[in-house]
């Protein structure tokens, strides 16, 4: 669920297990709010739409498709993901919220779906977790879209939580240790999103890019910092280090300090956090 670059099995005793449930708690309403602003650009959407939610995870995109379309009478959604555990949570939500959706286990690089099937496709918080910047996956998504079909993707132009993690990693690990999620900052530039969609098959004049602010509400700073470090701290090619266990509290303290300096950081009544993110949104028509 957290895309580790190493196969090392060691984890510090304080690290929370990176389950889909932990992911949902960590992101709070951020992924749903990201999906909401992404889908908002996908007009027209009507109740006869056939949606692909690719890399659907635990269902943030699907929840917003349903909310956006409103009348779900003849709406069809296929949620595809490679992660079995995430799909289990997705299926529970399908049952709980009565979504007109089916969970399909599949790889975005070889979709188990027929050509020209979907009127819409959404890949939210998706391309940047894939190899080759997601180009092969975009080719597959292009293949299964109908001519005239609309696809929406996003990347982060600004996140408040990556720098704190990387500062904590730098200050608590030996010099030269690879940084967790190093190299993600290339996605800040919307030109990368445009290039990936063009290489995936979309015409350059049928791609629209915008930048949108996304507010997220999550838990208390103590819980947030501990979830964040647990989820991301061990994901570089170096994995977790033995020293991370006795440096755990120091890393958490640094994350809290750095996070509280981030643009848009707010502690709400009751102790919850509000964080500001900025997304690049791309809408492309086949
Ligand atoms: C950051 S999560 C985003 C999940 C969801 N779209 C959301 O907005 O919360 C990325 C998702 O992509 C899935 N994923 C990664 N590689 C994939 C692949 N090759 N094919 C399908 N899904 C993949 C992961 O399992 C994960 O659920």
What residue ranges do the domains of the chain occupy?
Answer: 20-285
Q: Is the pLDDT of residue 6 over 90?
A: no
pLDDT at 4: 85
Across 139-158, average pLDDT: 97
156 Cβ closer than 6 Å to some ligand 1 atom: no
Q: Which of 57, 112, 181 to mutate to test the pocket of ligand 1 (most atoms within 8 A of CB)?
A: 57
pLDDT at 73: 82
Topology (CATH level 3) of domain 20-285: Rossmann fold (3.40.50)
> Tokens 């779900």 identify what position?
72
The number of the ligand 1 atom at minimal distance from the alpha carbon of 27 is 9
Alpha carbon 130 to chain centroid distance? Answer: 11
Q: Is the pLDDT of residue 46 over 80?
A: no
Are 35 and 64 contacting, i.e. CB atoms less than 8 angstroms apart? yes
Confidence of residue 8 (pLDDT cuts 50, 70, 90): confident
108 Cβ closer than 6 Å to some ligand 1 atom: yes
Between strands 273-285 and 207-218, the pairing is antiparallel
Q: What is the pLDDT of residues 134-145, one digit of tens each?
A: 999 999 999 999
Residue 263 phi, psi (nearest 5)? -60, 125
Please list the residues that pair with 273 across neighbouring strands: 218, 267
Q: Is the pLDDT of residue 166 over 90?
A: yes
Residues in contact with 134: Cβ distance below 8 Å, sequence separation at least 6, in sequence order: 108, 123, 126, 127, 128, 196, 200
Please list the residues that pair with 267 across neighbouring strands: 273
Give 7-13's long-range contacts (Cβ < 8 A, gap of 24+).
Answer: 7/239, 8/234, 8/239, 8/240, 10/239, 10/240, 10/242, 11/234, 11/240, 12/240, 12/244, 12/245, 12/248, 13/245
- Residue 8 CA, ligand 1 centroid: distance in Å: 21
Between strands 101-105 and 145-158, the pairing is unpaired
- Residue 81 CA, ligand 1 centroid: distance in Å: 6
pLDDT at 44: 65
Which residue's alpha carbon is nearest to atom 25 within ligand 1?
Answer: 83
Q: What is the pLDDT of residues 55-106, one digit of tens each?
A: 999 999 999 999 998 888 889 999 999 999 999 999 999 999 999 999 999 9
pLDDT at 72: 81
56 Cβ closer than 6 Å to some ligand 1 atom: yes
Across 232-246, average pLDDT: 95
57 Cβ closer than 6 Å to some ligand 1 atom: yes
């Amino acid at each position: 669920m957290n895309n580790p670059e190493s196969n090392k099995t060691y984890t510090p005793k304080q690290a929370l297990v990176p389950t889909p449930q932990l992911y949902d708690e960590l992101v709070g309403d951020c992924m749903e709010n990201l999906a909401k602003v992404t889908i908002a650009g996908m007009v027209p959407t009507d109740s006869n739409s056939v949606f692909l939610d690719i890399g659907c995870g635990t269902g943030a995109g699907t929840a917003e498709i349903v909310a956006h379309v409103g009348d779900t009478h003849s709406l069809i959604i296929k949620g595809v993901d490679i992660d079995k555990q995430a799909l289990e949570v997705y299926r529970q939500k399908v049952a709980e919220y009565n979504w007109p959706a089916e969970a399909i286990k599949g790889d975005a690089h070889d979709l188990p779906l027929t050509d020209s099937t979907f009127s819409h496709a959404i890949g939210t918080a998706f391309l940047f977790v894939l190899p080759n910047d997601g180009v092969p996956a975009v080719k597959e998504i292009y293949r299964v879209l109908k001519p005239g079909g609309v696809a929406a993707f996003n990347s982060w132009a600004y996140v408040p939580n990556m720098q704190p993690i990387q500062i904590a990693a730098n200050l608590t690990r030996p010099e030269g240790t690879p940084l967790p999620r190093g190299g993600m900052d290339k996605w800040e530039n919307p030109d990368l999103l445009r290039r990936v969609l063009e290489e995936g098959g979309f015409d350059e004049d049928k791609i629209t890019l915008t930048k949108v602010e996304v507010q997220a509400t999550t838990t208390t700073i103590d819980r947030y910092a501990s979830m964040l470090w647990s989820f991301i701290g061990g994901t570089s090619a170096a994995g977790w280090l033995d020293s991370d266990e006795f440096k755990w509290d120091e890393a958490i303290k640094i994350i809290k300090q750095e996070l509280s300096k981030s643009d848009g950081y707010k502690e709400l009544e009751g102790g919850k956090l509000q964080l500001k993110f900025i997304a690049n949104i791309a809408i492309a028509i086949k």
